Amino acid sequence: MNIYINGKLVPEKDAKISVFDHGLLYGDGVFEGIRAYHGRVFMLEAHIDRLYRSAQAIALRIPIGKAAMAAAVVKTCKANGTRDGYVRLVVTRGVGSLGLNPYQCKTPQIIVIAAKIQLYPGALYEQGLRVVTAGTPRNHNESVSPNIKSLNYLNNIMAKIEAINAGVLEVIMLNPQGFVAEASGDNVFALSGRELSTPPVSCGALEGITRNVVIRLAAQAGLDVREKILTRYDLYNADELFLTGTAAEIIGVVDMDRRTIGNGKVGPVTRDLTRRFRALTQTEGAPIG
């Protein structure tokens, strides 16, 4: 495997950064998870735009432009023969002192990894997920904005630990006010009749790229799509519940906190949106070549 680091492709064994990089020391940096399907990088422009918005929010000046960054992603996929896979694009603050001061870090590090990922076992896309509510609340919006996709994922990891300890693979995280925010790494959607609801960003949800694609596909399917404040009660009583994310794609939830969701099976709307999403991935994206 070849890894892109600061304009060069190097073998995996030679892909190294300094132990003084603030991305390692403090989680100071931003990233994107991106998918490649059928020889195309899906929603590449949207991912690059979000990366630069995240960097702007943490006062991180990325040393190359958006077009060059997109080209780096495509170049890395091509070098690794990646036609269907997962790309991790990382920008760290760079090398600095052992202190917190980010302005001592002069050269951000740009890293692109093209590999594979499977967030959940394949069988669960047919059977559906079981989830629990996390005791760990989502970070307050004015502490770390959910729209900053930063390298510091400890809040999500603490919630993920709760899931694993409870014998499930995923959790629903609530915000400090007790409203539904998101899963540990995915957005949440609840269907009631023909109304499809997802928490607004103001409730602690990342504005996911797949989330936005699903909103568009759901509207095309004739659903009434809304960003809406949701409670656990709303999720317990949903006709269908599903999660979305770049790594997860679309996956149904059939049990939450030992409450059966709907009829306990992945619902027809979830399956229809999955079919529409997969069809879109066959035709849309930046060609790898």
Residues annotated catalytic, as ranges: 149
Q: Secondary structure of 128-148 in the HEC alphabet?
A: CEEEEECCCCCCCCCCCCCCC
Helices within the chain (DSSP H only): 22-26, 44-57, 66-79, 124-127, 154-165, 209-220, 232-236, 268-281
CA end-to-end span of the chain: 18
* 286-287: strand order across its sheet: 8-11, 2-5, 109-115, 85-92, 29-37, 40-41, 286-287
